[in-house]
Structure 1
Amino acid sequence: MNALHTFKTINYTKLTNSGTFTFAAPSNIALVKYWGKKQNQIPANPSLSFTLKNCKTITKLQYQPKAEKNISFDLLFEGQVKESFRPKIQKYFERIQDLCPYILDYHFKIDTQNTFPHSSGIASSASGMAALSATIIALEKLVNPNQTEAFYLQKASLLARLGSGSACRSIKGNIVVWGETDSIENSSDLFGVTFPYEVNNIFNNYQDTILLVDKGEKQVSSTVGHDLMHNHPFAERRFKQAHENIQQLKDILKTGNLTEFIALVESEALTLHAMMMTSKPYFILMKPNTLEIINEIWKFRESTKIPVCFTLDAGANVHVLYPEKYKISVTEFITNTLAKHCQNNQFIHDEMGNGAENVS
């Protein structure tokens, strides 16, 4: 808890005026997966992600000073009251109030929207909690302006983690590591850090096309899935493997060896789902069309030698990853071959981005 204490705001000024901040924060896609957590949203293993650019949440936070000290907010989604989101935001404010006691001095009106279709099966908790945390830190900069930019970035990532673990990887781009691991200098369980090493040019502006296989609600939530790792028979080996894979990926990102990149990324995706299928109780989030797409990608890669690969989140949708220079060929392949396996032929083109930004 001592490390956390350094992020607690102690001296701050109460503002007398009201104001507004608007931040946009993107989703991210983990290449080395986080699955399993300890108390207070601490990851059981490190993860590494590409920050995305187009799939983002835009959050407008209005603050109004008030006399009584308590958590007070109104919540809108795309301009409409959204009561179903309220418990998650309430819990978030409860988790951060010790670190950010100034939030009790204001009534907040939060209006949030996504650039991607709501309930499209793209995790919006990462982008949503990153955007909200960025607005809270913008307020902190006014009430406590004496810290460094590095401190504010770390604290924004820490707050985002307390809202949704993977959200800490959406504050800053474009490759982010979360979770302490020997191979990444200054890596931390508390917040995400920008990958600090050389990256081969082949990964510049890497593409991610998200195939919307199933837009329905998952039968098993990620929160439940994480909890099932506590007594999982393969958990310890999996956690060790994540450290090993980050070490390998560090080298791959430097050399640009796409054959090794593909093997590691696809293996990580299948390992994530293998952990679900071997937990107690076991469950399957992939759909028949997920497997159809994977097989089509393997066939296409074999016949064309184009280095396209897939990864999966905790769901049925498929992220198709490929270098920018193959965009025309891969887009044609997706449109002609893969789209028919998607719900309503829907897919979303995305690429690497730089994290949260002030769009006030």
Structure 2
Amino acid sequence: MLAEKDFIATSYNTIDSASFEWSAPSNIALVKYWGKKENQIPANPSISFTLNNCKTITKLDVVKKSENSSFSFDLLFEGKPKEDFKPKIQKFFERIEKYCPFLKEYHFKIDTQNTFPHSSGIASSASGMAALAMNIMSLEKAINPAISDDYFYSKASFLARLGSGSACRSIKGEVVVWGNHVQINGSSDLFGVEFSEIHSNFKNYQDTILLVDKGEKQVSSTVGHDLMHNHPYAERRFAQAHENLSQIKTLLSSGNVEEFIKIVESEALTLHAMMMTSMPYFILMKPNTLEIINKIWKFRDETQIPVCFTLDAGANVHVLYPENVKENVLQFIQDELVGYCQNGQYICDQIGNGANQLK
């Protein structure tokens, strides 16, 4: 089992210049994590579907500097300078310098873009930080070719976590667990691990994301996580997450979609219940979020088609369903749900495999 100290790079060479390019997807948690400890450690374990189409593509150009005084980077978003993103990258570099002490030796040009609209209400921090972490690990591999593939991906997940907690679940695998759990071998608070015991019922599982509200959230996820520190229901919630992860692990392996739906929807509503019962309290769902949920329940009850919803920390609805009912569900979305989406917008996605090197 890799420990934090194992991720500190101690032996490496230098290179004059290099260029790398990776894509990394977003992910959607089935069992949610809400609340974290110091250094991006989750208060409870989580498990997620890795997405396929909603991803960030990041190119990293690296040039050796003459002096190593400070971090040095330029940042382009969709081909244009993006100054307001730079403080987040600066903070990320500061957090990971201990593990990548070679960072100050190079000037970086970071050129990044999303396959989904930046203002679409889909969180891009997970895919963005995962893609950047993959590029940094490509640099580490270039200056230390001896590192193994397992170490490469584990450390990429470890680094991504320090940029955005859920980013560690966007590195590798269709289904990823992050956080210590007694029933999942190799699970860790430090990085995500692939969960591979997936029944054919969950292969190519679909996720259609209904864009209910594309505006900025009135309460950020960082603030929301912090509000769990003195939350009256925090300890019970953390225990519940462990219990639900035990159950969903079994359901993903056995192919029981009906029971899977119960856990996933309960988790989504519990996440928002934590927000509504914190102090200060807040609500991120919108009236149209609730309309969509009720429509999904009615449709599932009337047709017995196994479609369900989950939510992130926001108003948008992820509609999850098996591939073999795709035609019926997309028709339902067109007929009954699209009217609740901002500008009628939604994104069709499905389970993917994680990050990919493009160059």
Task: Please state which band the TM-score falls in when normalised by the shorter chain.
Answer: over 0.9
Structure 1 unpaired stretches of 5+: none
- Does 2:106 match 1:100? no
Task: Give, in angstroms, the shift of residue 183 of structure 1.
Answer: 1.2
Distance 2:173 2:353 in 1: 4
Aligned position for 2:62? 63
Distance 2:316 2:12 in 1: 44
8 Å CA contact 1:252–1:261 kept in 2: the answer is: yes
Distance 2:252 2:176 in 1: 12
Aligned position for 1:327? 326
8 Å CA contact 1:9–1:144 kept in 2: the answer is: no
Aligned length: 357
Residues 161-180 of structure 1 aligned to structure 2 (within 5 Å): 161-180=161-180
Task: Give, in angstroms, the shift of residue 174 of structure 1.
Answer: 0.5
SS at match of 2:280: coil
Aligned position for 1:202? 201
Task: Give, in angstroms, the shift of residue 3 of structure 1.
Answer: 2.1
When normalised by structure 2's length, the TM-score is 0.99
Task: Give, in angstroms, the shift of residue 248 of structure 1.
Answer: 0.3
Aligned position for 1:34? 33
SS at match of 2:74: strand
Distance 1:15 1:263 in 2: 52
Aligned position for 1:117? 117
Aligned position for 1:236? 235
Task: Give, in angstroms, the shift of residue 240 of structure 1.
Answer: 0.5
Aligned position for 1:290? 289
Task: Give, in angstroms, the shift of residue 177 of structure 1.
Answer: 0.1
Task: Give, in angstroms, the shift of residue 245 of structure 1.
Answer: 0.5
Distance 1:354 1:3 in 2: 25
Distance 1:173 1:300 in 2: 31
Aligned position for 1:317? 316
Amino acid at match of 2:99: L
Deviations 1:296-337 (A, max 9, x none): 000000111000000000000000000000000000001111
Aligned position for 1:83? 83
Distance 1:67 1:3 in 2: 33
- Does 2:338 match 1:339? yes
Residues 256-295 of structure 1 aligned to structure 2 (within 5 Å): 256-295=255-294
Task: Give, in angstroms, the shift of residue 102 of structure 1.
Answer: 1.1
- Judge which range, 30-39 or 67-76, deviates more: 67-76
Distance 2:10 2:333 in 1: 53
Deviations 1:101-157 (A, max 9, x none): 111110000010000011211010000000000000001001011111000100000
SS at match of 1:60: strand
Amino acid at match of 1:158: F
Distance 2:257 2:13 in 1: 52
Cα RMSD over matched residues?
Answer: 0.8
Aligned position for 1:5? 5
Structure 2 unpaired stretches of 5+: none
SS at match of 1:6: helix
When normalised by structure 1's length, the TM-score is 0.98
Give structure 1 regions of 4+ aligned residues with deviation exceeding 4 angstroms.
none
Distance 1:173 1:212 in 2: 26
Task: Give, in angstroms, the shift of residue 173 of structure 1.
Answer: 1.6
Amino acid at match of 1:162: L
Distance 2:204 2:321 in 1: 10
Distance 2:257 2:170 in 1: 24
Deviations 1:35-93 (A, max 9, x none): 00000000000000000000000001000100211211001100111011111100000
Task: Give, in angstroms, the shift of residue 158 of structure 1.
Answer: 0.2
Task: Give, in angstroms, the shift of residue 19 of structure 1.
Answer: 1.8
Distance 2:55 2:276 in 1: 30
Distance 2:335 2:15 in 1: 56
Aligned position for 1:148? 148
Aligned position for 2:187? 187
Residues 246-261 of structure 1 aligned to structure 2 (within 5 Å): 246-261=245-260
Distance 1:35 1:327 in 2: 31
Distance 2:183 2:239 in 1: 13
Amino acid at match of 1:58: I
- Judge which range, 160-169 or 255-264, deviates more: 255-264
Aligned position for 2:128? 128
